[in-house]
Amino acid sequence: MEEDFGTPFREEKDTEIKGPEKHEQSFPDLLPSPVLSDQKQMRKIALLFLGAGLFIVLLTGAFIFGWVVNSDNDKTSSINMASDQIGVVQELMEALVNNSGDLTESEVAAIIAEMTSFNSEVEPVVAVADTVSRSVVIVRSETGQGSGIALDDQRRVVTNAHVLGDSETVQVLLPSGRMVEARIIGSDIRRDVAVIELDDVDNSLVPARFASSQNLRVGQLAVAVGSPFELNQTVTSGIVSAIGRVEPSYGCEIAGPMSAECAGVAMIQTDAPINPGNSGGPLADRNGHVIGMNTSIRTEGFLSANVGVGFAIPSDTVLLVAQRLISREPIGTAFLGILGETPTDGRAGALLLEVQESSPAYVAGLEVGDLIVRVDRRPILNMQALRADIQLRLPDEEVVLEYIRGEKILETTVRLASLDDEYQQ
């Protein structure tokens, strides 16, 4: 880390000699060394204390970070890293103490900058890879291969539904290189999430730590881990390019866009390279916490590899659907009963163009021309976001909709119906 200390301190020298001694010569060899003024001496002492304080803060932060993100097997490496840094900074501190009388203030500032620059040597992607890789497995099904994320300490792993396909048997390769059998707990093709349970595990696999996707920001670091093209434990990095990108689910691919199996899923867009085999693997933040599950890529023409537009299912969606599958809840898609579009006048929300008679929206009193702006107090940016929010929910759930009608902001509670029942009519 480079720190800007502003304009370097300079010792100002008087070039004008005042009084009758103006034309007399001095004899440097016979005179004692000039003594710094108390003010300048105090500034150098303050810089020494500043450097020591920065060193302690940065070293403590680096040590705690390594201690937190590493498992018990890696505590020694964190301590060794901190010890190496202590040795480097000790040498610099000795140089300051032993030579402080001969150093100018700008030289003291330069040494302090070197002391604090060691923190920039800690590579965030390396730290994330070390943490997340221990929670990633290879999932091999009858239809192909993908990746998976260790969900908990009950031998459960979460992956994409399209990785499993119609397979009845699944094998999982652990980080240790050991192959184990697994059984399928459940698969939801509408959200492209599946959960499997391993027959056995070893200590090479640790549950991943998940972060809420509600706190994501565009531009933050994103690290993808998986096994593209059967290249195990491949790490790529990029940023979160966008959030809330609604993409058609795996169910749209296998059942068609006009089926109850087809749903829109709000995704994280990233430019971290994702390729075939990454599906089901984690997308992590700089703390090594999983923020999404890598799922698909956008391609053009004959290209089938990544071109910098990849999509991951947000962690909140992954955990919600996984819990449904573990709890054996029925898989379904909620139905509101409206047709709408995104306004083109700069307003956010979903503008209703049609309200189906006898639908949940009709019963709740919604009308053509209403602009839905919030769902359960969360803002809705466009029609695609409303679709993804409703279709993530299950039938019979109640949802609070806020909408604008004319100049009024109104609110209504809607009990959602079943999209499956709608298609069966």
Token code pair at residue 161: 């539904």
Q: What is the pTM of this model?
A: 0.71
| Helices 75-99 & 38-69 angle (0-180, nearest 10) | 170
Last residue of a domain, one of 90, 122, 154: 122
CATH number, domain of 312, equals: 2.40.10.10
pLDDT band of 72, cuts 50, 70, 90: very low
What's the mean per-residue pLDDT of the chain?
A: 80
Is 208 among the domain residues? no
pLDDT band of 144, cuts 50, 70, 90: confident
Q: Rounded distance, CA 137 to CA 151, Å?
A: 11
Q: What is the pLDDT of residue 165?
A: 92
Instruction: Tell me the mean pLDDT in the region 233-243.
Output: 92
Does 279 participate in catalysis according to the annotation? yes
Assess whether 95 and 158 both reside in one domain. no
pLDDT band of 379, cuts 50, 70, 90: very high
Which domain does 117 fall in, by range? 19-122
Q: Does position 272 have pLDDT exceeding 60, yes or no?
A: yes
Instruction: Tell me the mean pLDDT in the region 280-287.
Output: 94
Which one is predicted more confidently, 172 or 27?
A: 172
Q: What is the pLDDT of residue 146?
A: 93
pLDDT (tens digit, 9 = 90+) per residue, 46-62?
Answer: 555 666 666 566 556 55
Q: Does position 45 have pLDDT exceeding 60, yes or no?
A: no
Q: Rounded distance, CA 292 to CA 285, Å?
A: 9
Is 3 among the domain residues? no
Assess whether 82 and 47 both reside in one domain. yes
Does 23 participate in catalysis according to the annotation? no
Q: What is the pLDDT of residue 43?
A: 57
pLDDT (tens digit, 9 = 90+) per residue, 83-110?
Answer: 555 555 556 556 555 655 565 656 655 6
List C-alpha distances in Å: 264 to 38, 244, 250, 341: 71, 11, 10, 15
CATH number, domain of 402, equals: 2.30.42.10
Q: How many domains does the chain have?
A: 4
Catalytic residue of the set 141, 237, 279, 359 = 279
pLDDT band of 15, cuts 50, 70, 90: very low
List C-alpha distances in Å: 370 to 77, 307, 347, 357: 60, 39, 12, 16
Catalytic residue of the set 78, 133, 147, 162 = 162
Q: Does position 212 have pLDDT exceeding 70, yes or no?
A: yes
Q: Does position 129 have pLDDT exceeding 60, yes or no?
A: yes
Instruction: Tell me the mean pLDDT in the region 358-367.
Output: 96
Q: What is the pLDDT of residue 195?
A: 97
Do residues 145 and 138 make contact, with C-beta atoms less than 8 angstroms apart?
yes
Q: What is the pLDDT of residue 27?
A: 40
Q: Does position 114 have pLDDT exceeding 90, yes or no?
A: no
pLDDT band of 20, cuts 50, 70, 90: very low
Instruction: Tell me the mean pLDDT in the region 323-328.
Output: 95
Q: Does position 5 have pLDDT exceeding 50, yes or no?
A: no
Q: Rounded distance, CA 386 to CA 372, Å?
A: 8
Assess whether 239 and 321 both reside in one domain. yes
Is 395 among the domain residues? yes
Last residue of a domain, one of 68, 99, 122: 122
Q: Rounded distance, CA 382 to CA 343, Å?
A: 8
Catalytic residue of the set 130, 192, 271, 389 = 192
Last residue of a domain, one of 198, 230, 248: 198
Tell me the three state secondary structure of residue 1: coil
Is 206 among the domain residues? no
Q: What is the pLDDT of residue 216?
A: 93
Is 205 among the domain residues? no
Assess whether 218 and 154 both reside in one domain. no
Q: What is the pLDDT of residue 364?
A: 96
Does 192 participate in catalysis according to the annotation? yes
Assess whether 23 and 96 both reside in one domain. yes
Find the largest Cα–Cα distance for the chain.
Answer: 112
